[in-house]
Structure 1
Amino acid sequence: MATRRETSAVREHRPIEERRTQLLTAASEVMREQGVAAATTRAIAERAGLPHGSVHYCFGGKTALLRAVVRSEVDRSVERAWRRAAGSTDLEGLLRNVLEAQLGGVRDDPGHHAMLAELMALARRDPELADLPGWEHERYVSAATDLISELPATSDFTLARPAREIATMIMVLAAGLSDLWTATGNRAELDRALDDCVRGLAARLSRPA
């Protein structure tokens, strides 16, 4: 059986990218379960099974770690929406797929949604993280813009507004529908609102080619 010193040595010599991944996962778990305030460097390192100094060694400090968590989680959310919307042949289908992917994350993993909301609230108060809300918005809008821009080449309709404007509307709808679900937890009401928004917006923003 390995001694504590031998085990510690093995941990210390793990590749830095492996330790970064462990710390990101641990930070997300702690924040989902206990909130952002509970995510001290000690709590995160302990959850990851790494020495306390690993957070500073791998990220330079807690602020950089929180920034990395936000970027990782948002990228994952965007990729989920992209996969679901890929192959859409009309604007209504794309709108529905993107919004359902976003809402699916809120419904199926409320802890993740609450964690990101808390992190964004913190970012708005912390000058070192103040750029993150704008980055998150741009990440979603840019991805949606790319998806929308690909539609006219393979469809029998044209867009009535620029793709980026439509993408921005999608993000506004996603935020509103997410708030509706968080406040009520009423799936039937959410589905009705989603249907109305998708059909209305698609009819307004596309026209026959």
Structure 2
Amino acid sequence: MTRMPLATRRRQLTEAAIRAMTRDGVPRTTTRSIAAEAGVSLSVFHYCFDSKAALLESVITTITDHYVGVVAEALRPRATLRETIRAGFGAYWDHVCAHPGEHMLTYELTQYALRTPGFEALARRQHERYAEIYQELIEQLRSSMSLDLSVPVPVLARYLASVTDGLTLNFLVLGQDEAVSATILDMITDQVAALVGEVSPHPAGG
């Protein structure tokens, strides 16, 4: 077997776990099936992850990383603040539509963690991470554009996490209606743009 750096091997096993859990569900996915999916021995798995909780946290982090990068790239400054925000939401939504299984898995992981004794903290950490990501994206936007936030960043971050979480679940249950989805994304964009409006320049001599 080819020797790999530990971080690379963990990434390989995490991606294998995502594929297996997306296909078979969290409860039916075992460490043995993940090792088989990755094409490694069970001993390699246990060398990389000392607990199932550590694996699941890596799964959550990796799924999140899959879309955070494209959203951050989409938030590069555009002609207007609204266009920039809409591009960010659009990038996230494109990822949801292209990878529904991964997003469905995040909800399953939340339920699994909440229902499994000893794993409750994982669900809390999962949703704390969502808020942290939005804080990072807001700060990215604030550093590239002059913003006048009408609410504290942590509050806005939790609000955005809640909105996109509900919108994603709605898509997974009801399916895609492109016209409705576009309208909803426009509504959210308008609301967020109002909450983080650009700073108006002071009049000369003011």
Which residue number corresponds to residue 191 of structure 2? 200
Matched, 1:111 2:89: no
Unmatched segments (≥5 aa) in structure 2: 201-206
Which residue number corresponds to residue 203 of structure 2? none
Q: Which deviates further from its counterpart, 43-52 or 69-78? A: 69-78
Distance 1:79 1:130, change over 3 A: farther
Which residue number corresponds to residue 55 of structure 1? 45
Q: Report if aligned partners of 2:22, 2:105 keep a CA contact under 8 Å in 1.
A: yes
Q: Structure 1 residue 107: deviation in Å?
A: 0.9
Q: Which amino acid aligns with 1:45?
A: A
Q: Which amino acid aligns with 2:106?
A: L
Matched, 1:140 2:136: no
Q: TM-score, normalised by structure 1?
A: 0.80
Q: Deviations over 1:119-164 (max 9, x none)?
A: 1111112343322333233323233223334545654652222233
Matched, 1:23 2:10: no
Q: Deviations over 1:39-87 (max 9, x none)?
A: 1111111111111222222211333222221122223332332222133
Distance 1:27 1:107, change over 3 A: same
Distance 1:78 1:207, change over 3 A: closer
What secondary structure does 2:120 align onto? Answer: coil
Map 1:58-69 → 2, pairs under 5 A: 58-69=48-59
Unmatched segments (≥5 aa) in structure 1: 1-9
Q: Which amino acid aligns with 1:56?
A: H
Q: Report if aligned partners of 1:90, 1:155 keep a CA contact under 8 Å in 2.
A: no
Query: Alpha carbon RMSD of aligned pairs, Å?
Result: 2.6
- Return the alpha-carbon distance in structure 1 between the equivalents of residues 195 and 47 of structure 2: 52
**Larger Rg over CA atoms:** 1
Q: Which deviates further from its counterpart, 157-166 or 114-123? A: 157-166
Distance 1:77 1:135, change over 3 A: farther
Q: Which deviates further from its counterpart, 180-189 or 83-92? A: 83-92
Map 1:1-209 → 2, pairs under 5 A: 10=1, 13-87=3-77, 91-151=81-141, 155=145, 158-185=148-175, 186-206=177-197, 209=200
Q: Report if aligned partners of 2:82, 2:189 keep a CA contact under 8 Å in 1.
A: yes
- Return the alpha-carbon distance in structure 1 between the equivalents of residues 44 and 76 of structure 2: 39
Q: Which deviates further from its counterpart, 179-188 or 133-142? A: 133-142
- Return the alpha-carbon distance in structure 1 between the equivalents of residues 122 and 188 of structure 2: 28
